Amino acid sequence: MARYMRDRAGRTWLDSLPGLLADRLEQWQLDVDLAPGSLPWSGHGGIVVPVRREDGSPAALKIAFPQDEARVERHALALWGGHGAVALLASDAESCAMLLERLDAGRSLADVPLDDGAVVWGGLVRQLGLAPDHRPEWREFAHIAARAEQWSDELPADWDQLGRPFPRWLLEAALEVCQTRGTVGRRSAHDLLVHTDLHFLNVLARPGIPPAGAVPTAAGYAAIDPQPMIGEPEFAVAPLLWNRLADLPASQAGAALLRRCHDFSSAAGLDPDVARQWCIAREVENALGYAAQGRRGGLARSLWVSSTLAGKTLDGLPDPHALPEPGHDG
């Protein structure tokens, strides 16, 4: 949450949190369910407080910083209706607050072996991949193809302005993806609702499922923090490839990264090569963001992943096992 201390809008929101929390507790008739001395759960974009409803049932109260991703989250959760994602019990648009099904915050897909994780993740993606229909929530989401068109203009300008922080060929590899997969003509009847941040820590276990020692299945897990968009579902694979790099084998890590892309994509019924292409574009965009922020660890990670997937790992980068996980890169 320290990131919100950096500007006036963030500090204003932090100052407002106690009042927002008290208002939602009163309006939804909730009691805080924290052990004495415990703190609320905090994530990248908000806080989550375990609560009890009037009937004593457990739930989780989430209050998010009012940014675009947070404002559309409730619409995606409403469409999913608890199938593949955390169930939405109530929401308040003005405060960016949601009352959610309480999941097991201590058990995520990050703790599951990758082979089992692919089965769970693939099953969730199949549930989450809804086709647009008549419901008004669909009008709230941005389109992945439009984002790629935007990158076609922004990435070259950012790359040049930042002093060309990586070779031109890698930038061109990302631009080729944007130009081939991001054209307006690619928007079609095959577009689906996409959870664009479906990494291992954003998949939490449902309490008591699966039982200890049982093989994990999609039925025992749910996705959180969706950052939803509409478009090609292969866009969702990328966060799996820039997380858990330490789990790659010591030798031939690059080949193992490609196998991971193939295995998770196949488990979800997706095209592995399309997923690979989208990850190149997303990681080049990430790399430029890290370069602008001076986050050398994140920059190195994004360059290793994107160049490896593009077929030519850049020289001079750290071993992938030495690269920081997202959120721990400065």
Rounded Cα distance between 237 and 244, Å, is 13
Rounded Cα distance between 221 and 204, Å, is 5
Would the CA dihedral through 305, 307, 308, 309 be positive or negative? positive
| Residue 213, amino acid | G
Kindly report the backbone phi and psi dihedral angles of residue 229, in degrees, each rounded to the nearest multiple of 5, phi listed first: -145, 170
**Crossing angle of helices 168-181 and 272-293, rounded to 10°:** 130
Rg (CA), the chain: 20
Residue whose token pair is 């619409």 = 75
Residue 256 C-alpha from the chain's centroid: 22
Can 197 be counted among the known catalytic residues? yes
β-bridge partners, 99? 61, 90
Q: List, in sequence order, every beta strand (DSSP E) within the chain.
A: 31-32, 41-42, 46-52, 58-64, 88-92, 97-100, 104-108, 192-194, 203-205, 221-223, 229-231
Residues 6 or more apart from 271 whose CB is under 8 A from it? 234, 265
Kindly report the backbone phi and psi dihedral angles of residue 328, in degrees, each rounded to the nearest multiple of 5, phi listed first: -125, 30
Give the active site residue among 158, 191, 197, 263. 197
Contact status, residue 169 vs residue 303, Cβ threshold 8 Å: no
Rounded Cα distance between 200 and 238, Å, is 11
Gap between the terminal Cα atoms of the chain: 14
Tokens for 283, please give them.
């990681």
Q: Which positions are catalytic? A: 197
